[in-house]
Structure 1
Amino acid sequence: MDKFQAFGKNLSASFTPFAARTQQYVKEQLGQAEDKVNRASAVTQLPPDYTELEKRVDALRQVHQKLLQVTYVPAQALIPLASKHSPPYRSSQYSNEAYDYPPNLRESFNDLGRTISEKVHLLSSATSPAEAQAAFTAPPSAKPQPKTFNHAIARASLAGSQLLHQSDSSGTDDPLATALEKYAIAEEKVGEARLAQDHQIQTRFLAGWSTTLNTNLMFAQRARKGVENARLSLDATKAKAKHGSGFSLPGQKGHHVKTDDELSEEERVHIEQAEDEFVGQTEEAVGVMKNVLDTPEPLRNLADLIAAQLEFHKKAYEILSELAPIVDGLQVEQEASYRKAREGA
């Protein structure tokens, strides 16, 4: 029985602060947190510098959420940061190869067979249309091809090149077929560069960006919650000291409100302890929020994102710049041949 009573006392001691904070919160929501004697607000006001930090932290949180909404799938799965059940963002847009070409999902196993370079090598050694078709539809030697748009257009270009070769029995090289084959090889290289970009973005940008949201900003949120709890406890302690029970439903007659001079020494001590806790929680939250706002990590992550995109576009530019004069040359040769044939006719 003694153990049961002790357990009941411990439970009551731990439950009472929560109940007091809850009661104070309900009072404030019902608009009863105003002292009816001196008409001054009974809600302890947070320092302006503190509320300014809160605004900046909220803005930083929204910045992270907005970028993650477009770099993670699905965006509608976002859960408010304040929820203790909020999971890390998991489904990265950049881990989905077909994000720039969803129709790729309908391609067959044979379509996603060997790489363009492998197919070109096999086709170059084919001695008959049957061998060429077998080489073109050869099963993959390793994993299937990626499903990027660049890989898809490479496959389509190589297929077009092969169709032109098969339809021409003269044995001459068709300029368009040659150009399409070279374009297919180039686009495959661009697709590989895009996959390298995606990997860099996942490991260097998204990892850090989501960590800031789900760790650093979460710590700031918890610290702010500690301040709010301490503030509610302080106001509940003040209300209990001055109002007695401190709670009445709307329309009910209020209790006598004590002035500061009427408070007992014990009541003053309780209020001072609550004030000390509130000040301590506020100082801790200020430190946490300043640390979150001052860290260079988000800007470093953004620089990594830009660097990955820049590297991809630079490689794509180099690949296509090397290809363009070759195709231009084929075009000039074909036009010259066309004019010569017309003049001879």
Structure 2
Amino acid sequence: MASPTPAAANPKKAQAVPGSPGPGGGQAGVMAGTGASGSAGNARANMRRTSLLVFFAAVLLLLALLSLAVGSKHIELAVLWQALLDPNDSADHAIIRDSRFPRAVLGILAGSALGIAGALVQSMTRNALAEPGILGVNAGASLAIVIAVGTFGINGFNGYVWFAFGGAVLATGAVYLVGMAGARSSDPVRLVLAGVALGAVLSGIGTALALVHPSAFDQLRAWTIGSLEGRSADVLAPLGIAVLVGFVLAGFTGRSLNALALGDDTALALGYKVGRARVLILLAVTVLAGAATAAVGAISFLGLMAPHLARRFSGPDARWMLAYTAVLAPIILLLADVLGRVVIPGELEAGVVCAFVGAPVLIMLARRKKPVAV
């Protein structure tokens, strides 16, 4: 009696791939089925991510409206809609038009910029605890403010905001030059070390000069806290342009960030130019963090919190993570600003509220048993 063939002996194995085209078609059928199911799974995941992103965008819009209504003077919803659609010269409409609306727009622009800058820095350095301040942005901006007030006698936010932006840009450029001096390739560890070292030097110089000029010290202290209050609408257009440029640069880095997450050797093997990608990322961080920091001050922890929160919804894909961060970061900043108006009589600055929220997040990250993937 002839022994049965393997297919006959194991009917389930023979029918593992329905529709296999004869001998040799089983493996191809498995691969085709896996590819089809994988594509369907990716499509469902992208649909979920898109739906959730739209939901967070709606939350951001509602928070912006809440920011217009909440303050030392409560404004009814009907008055708010009238101020937005058919404004007049009444006192309530003037408050919304001249103070709260620019404040809400500033929170959205600056929050998105600081969040994206933090996400880029974390991805570039592969350090889950990194934020834009490690590249000398805050130190350069604060030193420029002290020089503007103490040396040139410039007072008021509208006067020294441009010095702050220039100082942030120059400091970040110096960090890159020092970190890459004598190196054949861009090393994120060297960049971080150069940023921490130069940041400490610039902060020390700025503090020494501020102690010599009391007026400069007062201006620096008010700026360092970080706030959306008291900012002029004149900064919105330049900040919007800077944020747009930074977003375009960040958009070009999406695929590079995914490759850099695998390591430099793997990224090079995949055909990515690691050095060029890091320069592009650094340019985006400089524009975004420099402009936002100059506009609202040194708001701590926002560039750290928002990317980590975004990764919980976006997964490992850096492109989705950047999109989520651009929406979640302004939600955090506007929420901190609104809470600061109501938690105590008077007003608590948004930078202080962000620090209260961000400090526990940093402690939680430091106590994690497993490192956070970036």
Alignment TM-score, normalising by the size of structure 1: 0.25
Larger Rg: 1
Higher relative contact order (CA 8 A, sep 6+): 2
TM-score normalized by the length of structure 2: 0.24
